[in-house]
Structure 1
Amino acid sequence: MTKDKDTKTVVPALRFPEFRDGEGWHNVRLIDVTDKRIKWHFTGGPFGSNLKASDYTNSGIRVIQLQNIGDGYFVEDYKIYTSIEKSDELLGCNIYPGNIIMSKMGDPVGRACLIPDNEDRYLMCSDGIKLVIDEDKNDKYFIIKAINAEEFRRKIERSATGSTRKRISLDTLRDLTLLISNNKVEQKKIAECLGSLDDLISAVADKIETLKEYKKGLMQQLFPAEGKTIPAIRFPEFRNAPDWQEMSLRDIGEIITGSTPCTKDSNNYGGEKLFVSPADITDKRYVSQTKTTLSEKGFRLSRRIKENSILFVCIGSTIGKVAQNTRECATNQQINSIMPYKGHVADFVYSILEHYAPQIASIAGNQAVPIINKTLFSSVSLLMPKEEEQKKIADCLLSVDELISTEIDKLDQLKAHKKGLMQQLFPKLQ
Structure 2
Amino acid sequence: MNEDTLLELPKGWIWAKLEDLVLEPKNDIVDGPFGSNLKASEYEDKGIPIIRLQNVTRNKFIKKNIRFIKPEKAELLKRHSFSKNDIVITKLGAPLGEACLVPEDFEWGVIVADIVRVKTDDKYISKKYLVYCINSEVVIKQFETNTKGTTRPRVNLSHIRELELPISPLPEQHRIVTKIEELFTKLDVGVEVLKKTKVQLKL
Q: TM-score, normalised by structure 2?
A: 0.85
| Residue matched to 2:47 | 60
Pick aligned residue for 2:151 from 164, 174, 178:
164
* Alpha-carbon distance in 1 for matches of 2:94, 2:175: 30
Distance, in Å, in 2 between the alignment partners of 1:114 and 1:404 is 36
CA shift in 2, pair 1:404/1:79, >3 Å: farther
Aligned to 2:123, the other structure's residue is in SS state: coil
Deviations 1:328-374 (A, max 9, x none): xxxxxxxxxxxxxxxxxxxxxxxxxxxxxxxxxxxxxxxxxxxxxxx
2:139 is the alignment partner of 1:140: no
Letter in 1 for 2:151: T
**Structure 1 match to 2:164:** 177
Contact 1:35 1:135 in 2 (8 A): no
Q: What residue is the counterpart of 1:125 in the other structure?
A: 112
Match of 2:198 among 378, 402, 411: 402
Quote the offset at 1:50 in angstroms. Answer: 1.9
Classify 1:196/1:166 alpha carbon distance in 2 versus 1 (closer, same or farther; 3 Å). Answer: same
Pick from 18, 22, 34 the counterpart of residue 34 of structure 1: 22
Decide whether the 8 Å contact of 2:125 with 2:170 is kept in 1. yes
Cα 1:156/1:404, change in 2 over 3 Å: farther
| Backbone CA RMSD of aligned residues | 2.6
Q: How does 1:241-320 map to 2 (within 5 A)?
A: none
Deviations 1:295-352 (A, max 9, x none): xxxxxxxxxxxxxxxxxxxxxxxxxxxxxxxxxxxxxxxxxxxxxxxxxxxxxxxxxx
Q: Give, in whole Å, the separation in 2 of the partners of 1:128 and 1:44.
A: 6
Letter in 2 for 1:24: G
Q: Is the 8 A contact 2:146 2:155 kept in 1?
A: yes
C-alpha displacement of 1:88: 0.9
Structure possessing the higher radius of gyration over alpha carbons: 1
Give the Cα separation in 2 of the matches to 1:53 and 1:155.
31
Q: Matches of 2:120 and 2:114 in 1, distance apart?
A: 20
Select which of 33, 36, 43 maps to 1:46: 33
Partner residue of 1:326? none
- Structure-2 residue corresponding to 1:113: 100
Q: Following TM superposition, by how much is the alpha carbon of 1:122 offset from its aligned partner in structure 2, in angstroms?
A: 2.1
Give the CA deviation at 1:54: 4.9
Q: Does 1:78 align with 2:77?
A: no
CA contact under 8 A between 1:34 and 1:41: conserved in structure 2?
A: yes
CA change 1:152–1:54 in 2 (3 A) is: closer
Task: Choose the corresponding residue for 1:186, options 153, 172, 178.
Answer: 172
User: What stretches of structure 1 of length at least 5 have no aligned partner?
Assistant: 1-7, 12-22, 212-399, 406-430
Say whether 1:90 aligns with 2:89: no
- In structure 1, what residue type is equivalent to 2:9? V
Give the 3 Å change call, closer, same or farther, for CA 61–203 of structure 1 in structure 2: farther
Secondary structure of 2:57 counterpart: coil
For residues 83 and 186 of structure 2, the distance between their equivalents in structure 1, rounded to whole angstroms, comes to 26
* 8 Å CA contact retained: 1:30, 1:176: yes
TM-score normalised by length of structure 1: 0.42
Distance 1:152-1:404 versus aligned 2 partners, 3 A rule: farther
- Alpha-carbon deviations, 1:272-311, whole Å to 9, x = none? xxxxxxxxxxxxxxxxxxxxxxxxxxxxxxxxxxxxxxxx
Name the CA shift for 1:52/1:105 in 2 (closer, same or farther; >3 Å). Answer: closer
Is residue 155 from structure 1 mapped to residue 142 from structure 2 by the alignment? yes
Per-residue CA distance 1:29-56 (angstroms, 9 max, x = gap)? 11112232x8720101124322245522
Distance in 1 (alpha carbons) for counterparts of 2:112 and 2:164 = 24
Percent same amino acid among aligned pairs?
Answer: 29
Return the offset for 1:107. Answer: 0.7
Structure number with the bigger relative contact order (C-alpha 8 A, sep ≥ 6) is 2
In structure 2, the CA distance between the partners of 1:404 and 1:95, relative to structure 1 (3 Å rule), is: farther
The number of residues matched between the two structures is 195
Could you tell me how far apart the structure 2 residues matched to 1:163 and 1:29 are?
26
Cα deviation digits, residues 177-219 of structure 1 (max 9, x gap): 11111x10001110111122234445666x59xx7xxxxxxxx
> CA shift at 1:118, angstroms?
1.9
Distance apart, 1:137 and its partner CA: 1.5
